[in-house]
């Protein structure tokens, strides 16, 4: 009964700062996206509700990072306070070992690992697809709505469009005139009886389909070039719907594939290089899910041994540990992407290193052998204190 009460107490002490840190870290990451999304509201007139929907699509991507970081900070703050208030000493005097105190932390780590796995494997790919799909919908809708009859419209890169009239119900433009200067060496003038926009959400393409018209073209740099006139029944122009969608991201990336689609793509990969990159993506989604499990082994002993430095030091320590962990993961991902080592080995190496290092730290703390780095810090503080006292007496 006493152990159960202690375990509940530890769960409360860790959960509160973890949830608060999760909200703060996620908000900070969202702040980096606010200027770009605010531009959609100001320049494109996008409703606030759709902007909030875009924010919701971004959250899973941030959660895969902020959940392990917040959990680590929660452990450091909770166990740092246990040690600073001598609660850890009282628990040891009552016959409760450190390994017993780790049990509720392990329970939380399993929950956060499962939550992170669900986000990285299922939610995050779907949210990325939905985010880009929503951006395309906004951009394509803005393109068709922004075209006003009787006005020269220059909302498309390299194209000036004029239409005499517009059938609002069917979205058909009458008597269309287009100046196409996307290819500066061979500018073209296009006229057509009718035109309408056709969007393809699957390929993120917006097409202007013209009917019954002609193309007039003459190379700009050739003085004696022949003037070309081409008549057509139907002619398609692929349009740039705006800078919201990066050119390299018009096609669905591997990070947007669902788990089943990823496995099918691996089985049907045409080249070994493509198959290898898909396997890297698959392992990366699983590896990050184990971050809370391995970080608890680091957080518990470091939280107990850095108690004299205050909460600010715990925050700094959490960021440093997490930075090292993510640098190792990023380095392993780059090595795996270049094919320098098997993905199944190199991507799991950071977790394995932290697992061994955390187990060693936890064991040294349990047998009351503090890390040398904290002993050095303590000796330096004692020396500085004596030095200041000596200087004050003199």
Does the residue 118 lie in any domain?
yes
125/257 same-domain check: yes
> How many structural domains is the chain composed of?
2
Domain stop point among 209, 239, 269: 239
The average pLDDT across 34-47 equals 69
Domain stop point among 189, 218, 239: 239
Does the residue 148 lie in any domain?
no
Domain stop point among 218, 239, 260: 239
Element (H, E) at 246: none
d(CA 369, CA 363): 9
d(CA 185, CA 158): 13
Does the residue 244 lie in any domain?
no
Q: Is 22's pLDDT higher than 90? A: yes
133/88 same-domain check: yes
Structural domain span for residue 101:
2-139+252-382
Q: What is the pLDDT of residue 250?
A: 47
Q: What is the pLDDT of residue 319?
A: 81
By three-state DSSP, how is residue 226 classified? coil
Q: Is 108's pLDDT higher than 90? A: yes
372/301 same-domain check: yes
165/100 same-domain check: no
Does the residue 390 lie in any domain?
no
231/339 same-domain check: no
131/211 same-domain check: no
**Most confident option among 202-206, 225-229, 255-259:** 255-259
Per-residue pLDDT tens for 61-106? 899 889 999 999 999 888 888 888 888 888 888 888 888 889 999 9
121 burial (CB, 10 Å; 0-12 / 13-18 / 19+) is middle
235/274 same-domain check: no
Tokens standing for residue 348? 């799991």
52/194 same-domain check: no
Q: Is 248's pLDDT higher than 50? A: no
119/13 same-domain check: yes
Q: What is the pLDDT of residue 181?
A: 82
Neighbours of 213 (CB within 10 A): 21
Per-residue pLDDT tens for 252-278? 678 888 888 888 888 888 787 888 888
Does the residue 392 lie in any domain?
no
162/127 same-domain check: no
207/272 same-domain check: no
Per-residue pLDDT tens for 337-389? 787 778 788 889 999 999 998 898 888 888 877 665 555 445 555 555 665 65
* CB distance 146 to 208 below 8 Å: no
Does the residue 152 lie in any domain?
no
234/323 same-domain check: no
Question: pTM, whole model, 2 decimals?
Answer: 0.72
Instruction: Please state the φ and ψ torsions of residue 202, each to the nearest 5 degrees.
Output: -65, -40
Nearest alpha-carbon partner for 195 in 163, 232, 150? 163
- The confidence band for 116, taking pLDDT boundaries of 50, 70 and 90, is very high
Does the residue 257 lie in any domain?
yes
Q: What is the pLDDT of residue 382?
A: 57
Q: What is the pLDDT of residue 249?
A: 47
Does the residue 153 lie in any domain?
no
Tokens standing for residue 82? 């246990």
């Amino acid at each position: 009964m006493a152990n159960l009460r202690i375990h509940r107490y530890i769960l409360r002490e860790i959960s509160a700062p973890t949830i608060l840190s999760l909200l703060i870290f996620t908000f900070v990451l969202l702040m980096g996206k606010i200027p770009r999304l605010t531009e959609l509201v100001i320049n494109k007139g996008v409703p606030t509700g759709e902007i909030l929907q875009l924010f919701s699509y971004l959250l899973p991507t941030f959660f895969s990072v902020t959940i392990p970081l917040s959990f680590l900070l929660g452990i450091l703050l909770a166990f740092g306070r246990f040690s600073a208030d001598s609660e850890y000493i009282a628990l040891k005097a009552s016959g409760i070992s450190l390994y017993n105190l780790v049990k509720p932390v392990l329970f939380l780590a399993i929950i956060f690992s499962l939550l992170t796995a669900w986000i990285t494997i299922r939610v995050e790919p779907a949210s990325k697809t939905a985010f880009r799909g929503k951006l395309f919908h906004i951009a394509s809708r803005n393109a068709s709505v922004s075209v006003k009859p009787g006005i020269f419209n220059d909302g498309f890169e390299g194209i000036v469009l004029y239409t005499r009239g517009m059938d609002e119900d069917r979205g058909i433009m009458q008597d269309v005139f287009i100046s196409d200067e996307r290819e500066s060496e061979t500018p073209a003038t296009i006229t057509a009886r009718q035109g309408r926009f056709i969007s393809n959400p699957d390929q993120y393409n917006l097409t202007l389909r013209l009917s019954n018209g002609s193309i007039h073209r003459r190379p700009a740099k050739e003085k004696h070039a022949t003037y070309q006139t081409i008549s057509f029944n139907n002619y398609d122009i692929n349009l740039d719907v705006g800078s919201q969608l990066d050119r390299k991201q018009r096609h669905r990336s591997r990070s947007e594939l669902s788990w089943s689609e990823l496995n099918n793509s691996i089985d049907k990969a045409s080249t070994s290089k493509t198959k290898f990159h898909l396997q890297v993506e698959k392992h990366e989604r699983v590896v990050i899910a184990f971050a809370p499990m391995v970080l608890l082994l680091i957080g518990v002993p470091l939280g107990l041994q850095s108690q004299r430095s205050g909460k600010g030091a715990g925050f700094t320590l959490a960021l440093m540990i997490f930075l090292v962990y993510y640098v190792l993961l990023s380095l392993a991902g780059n090595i795996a992407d270049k094919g320098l080592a098997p993905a199944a080995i190199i991507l799991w190496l950071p977790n394995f290193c932290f697992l061994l290092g955390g187990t060693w730290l936890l064991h040294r703390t349990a047998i009351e052998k503090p890390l040398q780095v904290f002993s050095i810090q303590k000796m330096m503080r004692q020396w500085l204190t004596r030095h200041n006292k000596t200087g004050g007496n003199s």
